[in-house]
């Protein structure tokens, strides 16, 4: 019986092994980076929701100051969602925008509905984040949170928008 000669396959098998290893390691590195970005996003959002001097939003009636109780709910709702893997840049259908003043820094938070069960969250300030999360009917809760009625407590109207006649 003849022995198999491995020397003929040395370079080819080495190349296949390296390619296989690279194919496995790249998704792992991407997942670890995304996990780290999500952790940093949650830390920054926690600080904004708990230590902000002021958080405001703009709606059809004018500028609204969001109460601290609603900011605590914002963090709780955001923390209870799951990430959503998204390829590309889907178009938004609805959007909520908030501005935070925290530790002499300006931050902008935008929550955008971009699909039937998908939200895009953009947090922009000294650091920037773009994440996709599952909606799980939370967009309606976010809308209520930034309205005058509020989610847990009423928000305060800062200025009324004047209608143009």
Spatial contact of 51 and 100, defined as CB atoms under 8 Å apart: no
Mean pLDDT for 46-71 is 89
Q: What is the pLDDT of residues 14-58, one digit of tens each?
A: 778 888 888 989 988 988 888 888 889 999 999 999 999 899 998
Spatial contact of 44 and 127, defined as CB atoms under 8 Å apart: yes
Q: Tell me how long the chain is.
A: 165
The residues pairing with 55 across neighbouring beta strands, listed in sequence order, are 100
Domain ranges for the chain, please list them: 10-160
Query: What is the model's pLDDT at position 105?
Result: 92
Read off the pTM: 0.79
Percentage of the chain modeled with pLDDT above 70: 90
Mean pLDDT for 85-95 is 84
CB atoms within 10 A of CB 44: 19
Mean pLDDT for 112-124 is 91
Fold annotation for 10-160: Dna Ligase; domain 1 (3.30.1490)
């Amino acid at each position: 019986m003849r022995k198999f000669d491995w020397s003929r396959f040395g370079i080819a098998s080495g190349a296949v092994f390296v390619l296989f290893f690279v194919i496995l390691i790249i998704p792992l590195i991407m997942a670890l980076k995304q996990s780290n970005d999500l952790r940093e996003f949650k830390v920054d959002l926690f600080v904004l929701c708990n230590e902000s001097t002021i958080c405001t939003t703009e709606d059809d009636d004018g500028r609204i100051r969001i109460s601290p109780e609603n900011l605590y709910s914002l963090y709780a709702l955001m923390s209870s969602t799951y990430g959503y893997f998204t390829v590309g840049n889907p178009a938004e259908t609805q959007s909520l925008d908030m501005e935070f003043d925290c530790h002499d820094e300006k931050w902008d938070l935008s929550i955008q509905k971009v699909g039937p069960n998908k939200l895009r969250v953009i947090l922009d300030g000294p650091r920037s984040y773009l994440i996709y999360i599952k909606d799980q009917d939370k967009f309606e809760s976010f809308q209520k949170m930034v309205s005058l009625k509020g989610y847990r407590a009423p928000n305060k109207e800062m200025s009324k928008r004047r209608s143009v006649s």
